[in-house]
Amino acid sequence: MTEAPNAFEMRGIVKRFPGVLANDRVDFACQVGEVHALLGENGAGKSTLMNILAGMYRPDVGEILVKNQRVSFHSPQDAIAHGIGMIHQHFMLVPSHTVAENMVLGLNQPRFLLNLSHIEEQVRALGEQYGLVVNPRAKIWELSVGEQQRVEVLKMLFRGAKVLIMDEPTAVLTPQEVETLFLTLRDMIKQGHSIVFISHKLDEVVSIADRVTVLRYGRVTAANVPAQGTTKSQLARLMVGREVLFLVEKEKIEPGEIILTTDRLCAYNDRGLPALRDVSLQIRAGEILAIAGVAGNGQRELAEVLTGLRSATSGSAHFEKTPLDNHTNWLEIGQHLAHIPEDRAAVGSVPSLSIAENLILKRFKRPPIAKGWSINKAAVRQNATRLVQEYNIATPTVETPARMLSGGNLQKVILARETSEKPKLLIADQPTRGLDVGAIESIHRLLMEHRNRGAAILLISEELDEIFSLADRIAVMYEGQIVGEMPAEGADIHQIGLMMAGVKAEA
């Protein structure tokens, strides 16, 4: 095997943030014409390292070499001038502008007159060269998420990027879109580009990457491992530092009574547009119904209607025999209905209040926490101490403000609060989003425990792996409608992917 020259090399990178050493003497290099995956848990320092390479941050110590020349980047412009461009998880596009207009955004040229048709021509040519088909005159908001990502890639190619850093590019895509993206990436490396692929999805890493470098706690734990011949569990061990179980054991149990029923439920979203259209579902005790779908297809609105945060415009929902509407006594039902919201920091917790105070958010109106008009401080502390231990929440004290916790630990606080009273119905909206494999594993096990003890669970997820390993039944949601429902056993991942993209299931 011939050694290809390095597209870039980072040597001894150290980056310190207050309280954390994000990168500790990291060496990282990528060859010309390879996909190099950068793997690691959340907070392992992947994004920091790549932000340094892309000129967003400057390293405290260490050097960057491009084509064996030492360089120093003061801004992303410097990086792109050396052919290094980064595509962030959240796209940096102007929605009301066209594709071509977005291409020239932030460029020094043209200085005065903007010849858009010339740029459109260039975009079209680039698109053909790399198989990135997109209409240069389309406005960004008209495009699907997958197309927007193509625009981001084109933008970097337009600027002459030879090295493309992609931060979790598949997080927002359907399985089909992921396949298309991978085809493009393979095309690009054939034409001499290099790609750094940041991810914590092991399947994807194994399938797309040539080599893998693993970061843990800011240090490289494995460098330049060939992806071929490496298994998922080997990578997971390198990433987490221990064995990880991927499959949760799914006991066969007979579902019990119907806990949740919705009948042709409709609701609007925040912008007043229809978000739910005639959603009819049923969940029984001891059953996990998973809603598969790309984010923004009405899943959040469904969870909100069922938990009283949004009112339905028509249709009905029942919890056992109780209708879930504006007249419901939510305080009474609340004990039996748990909700793990999509956004744990912005909705699920109160950042400046202590962990102990966050743990009573749903039960401060009831004894033993409530004592007349006052709050029983001793009961609050007792409750917190017990839950911190039971749910393995890593925190210095129960008085620590919630905002100091990591994502995984914060999610444990929310889970502890929501599930410790053994709810009959659990609505989990993206419960593992953004968490690392270790945390995901424990959350999956917890959900399964509650199913086994007889809770009805509505699991909303974009991760098909998660859905397949947990669900008893799968319903696919597209533009506010249930476009298909099937038992998880024997379900075809390809077909679900098509339904997520709006192709109706054949009857």
Partner 1 sequence: MNLLSRRIRIEARLDNPGWIGVVSSILGIVLALIVGGFVLRAAGANDPIGTYQEIFKEGFGTPADWQAGITALLANTDCPKGSLCFGPLSDTLVKASPILLTALACIIAFRMKLWNIGADGQMFMGAWAATGVAVFLLPPTTDRPVMLAAMALAGILAGLLYGAIPGFLKARLNINEIITTLMLNYIAYKWMEYFVVVGPWSIGDFESTGKFPAAASWPRLTELSDRIPVLSGLTVHPGIFLGIVAAILLAWILYRSRWGYEIRVIGNNPKAARYAGISLRRNIILVMGLSGALAGLAGMNEVAALRELNGRFQRGFGFTGVIIAWLARLNPLAAILVAFLFGGLIVGTQLIQPQGIASMLQGVILFVVVGTELLFHYRVRVEKIEQVTAAPEASP
Write out the E strands in 170-273: 194-199, 211-216, 219-226, 258-268
For partner 1 (CB under 8 A), the number of binding residues is: 49
Of 311, 327, 306, nearest in space to 260 by CA: 306
Among 1, 5, 68, 74, binds partner 1 (CB under 8 A): 74
Give the x-and-dash track for 383-422 against partner 1 (CB under 8 A). ---------------------x------------------
Determine, following the binding rule CB under 8 A, whether residue 71 of this chain makes contact with partner 1.
yes
Q: Applying CB under 8 A, does 160 fall inside the site for partner 1? A: yes
- Rule CB under 8 A: is residue 272 a binding residue for partner 1? no
DSSP structural state of residue 401 = B
The verdict on 503 binding partner 1 (CB under 8 A) reads no
> Three-state SS string across 252-310, please?
CCCCCCEEEEEEEEEEECCCCCEEEEEEEEEEECCEEEEEECCCCCCHHHHHHHHCCCC
Chain positions 332 to 371 lying near partner 1, rule: CB under 8 A, are: 334, 339, 341, 346-353, 357, 360-362, 364-365, 370
Length of the chain: 507
Name which of 245 and 350 has its Cβ closer to partner 1: 350
Lay out the site mask for partner 1 across 130-159 (x = CB under 8 A, - = otherwise): -----------------------------x
Residue 88 C-beta: closest distance to partner 1, Å: 19
Phi/psi region, residue 19 (left: phi>0; alpha: psi -120 to 50; beta: rest), is left
| Contact assessment for residue 346 and residue 430, using Cβ atoms and an 8 Å cutoff | no
Q: How far is the CB of 16 from partner 1 (least distance, A)?
A: 9
Provide the terminal-to-terminal Cα distance of the chain, rounded to the nearest Å.
52
Q: Does 309 bind partner 1 (CB under 8 A)?
A: yes
Does position 81 interact with partner 1 (CB under 8 A)? The reply is yes
Per-residue HEC secondary structure of 48-114 comes to: HHHHHHCCCCCCCEEEEEECCEEECCCCHHHHHHCCEEEECCCCCCCCCCEHHHHHHCCCCCCCCCC
Site string for partner 1, 26-65 (x = CB under 8 A): ----------------------------------xx-x--
The SS3 assignment for 425 reads: strand
Minimum CB–partner distance for residue 467 and partner 1 (Å): 24
Peptide bond before 368: cis, by omega within 30 degrees of 0? Answer: yes
- Residues at the interface with partner 1 (CB under 8 A): 17-19, 60-61, 63, 70-75, 77-78, 80-81, 107-109, 159-160, 307-309, 330-331, 334, 339, 341, 346-353, 357, 360-362, 364-365, 370, 373-375, 377, 404
